[in-house]
Amino acid sequence: MKSFFSLIKPNYQISSTLAKPSYSSYFLNKRFYVANAVSTDHGIKATYPYPNQITNIGKNRNLIEEAIRDHRVIKDLWGRYQKEANRNERQKIANTIIYEFAVHTATEDIVLYPVLEKYYPNIVKHNHADHHHIKEALHKLFSMKISDHGYDDILAKAIKEFEEHAAREECDHFPKLKEAIGNDKQLIKLGEEFEKIRSKVSTQSHLTTHDKMESAICMAAAPLDKIFNSSRNYVETIRDKI
């Protein structure tokens, strides 16, 4: 088990006593929850998703609206991080930014970019490069604390790159995609798929040299990532308010 997981995340230290996770899903009040129960010989248990990973089904948001909603969530978190004076709260917000960006990029890579690539392959190539640069920064931050030297600078640079990337998508790429598809029902169907996949992808960024391999790893690593992320603290997002 150790050698297998080391291929996914080299820095992980896996206990030989860790039992295999079990998974269940259920619907409640029109919300789709993915619950993972994890047990060890020490009796540790964790339940997922975190509050900000809960997704609403049936709001008829299209693919573009779902992606933009992710952008707004991350931008809002960055604004809160800058204003927050309490160190513990700032750490929680930073954790949530890393978490949300990992989920967003993985979902775009799996659902949105394959569609966009049919019409604009060069755009997708550049977007993958954008994602990779930001993932590299957030990958470093995952093993750091906000009190560590250089943390704020790395995070600020990553957010700046993200905001520029999001602006290009919203002002240029998404309008082109909408015109190319030309079918509102198809966009809504893809939006539903985006939201479903969002609840299943990895909650941590993974770096490879191949975009499609990266997407596959993000799906395969999701259960393990959620186990490790259970020890981190997060804040609520504005997702259900927008």
Those residues with Cβ within 8 angstroms of residue 48's Cβ, 6 or more apart along the chain or in another chain: 34, 35, 36, 226, 230
Domain assignment present for 136: yes
Domain assignment present for 217: yes
Domain assignment present for 26: no
Q: How far is CA 120 from the centre of its chain?
A: 23
Domain assignment present for 17: no
**23: three-class secondary structure by DSSP:** strand
Strands (DSSP E) contained in 97-192 are none
Domain assignment present for 157: yes
Which residue range(s) make up the domain with 165?
60-241
Domain assignment present for 46: no
How far apart CA 68 and CA 62 sit, in angstroms, is 10
Domain assignment present for 20: no
What does 66-91 look like in DSSP terms, one character per residue? HHHHHHHHHHHHHHHHHH---HHHHH
Domain count, the chain: 1
Tens-digit pLDDT string for the chain (242 aa): 444 334 433 333 333 333 333 333 322 233 333 333 333 333 333 333 444 444 444 467 999 999 999 999 999 999 999 999 999 999 999 999 999 998 999 899 999 999 999 999 999 999 999 999 998 998 899 889 999 999 999 999 999 999 999 999 999 999 999 999 999 999 999 999 999 999 888 766 655 545 555 555 555 555 555 666 667 899 999 999 98
Domain assignment present for 154: yes
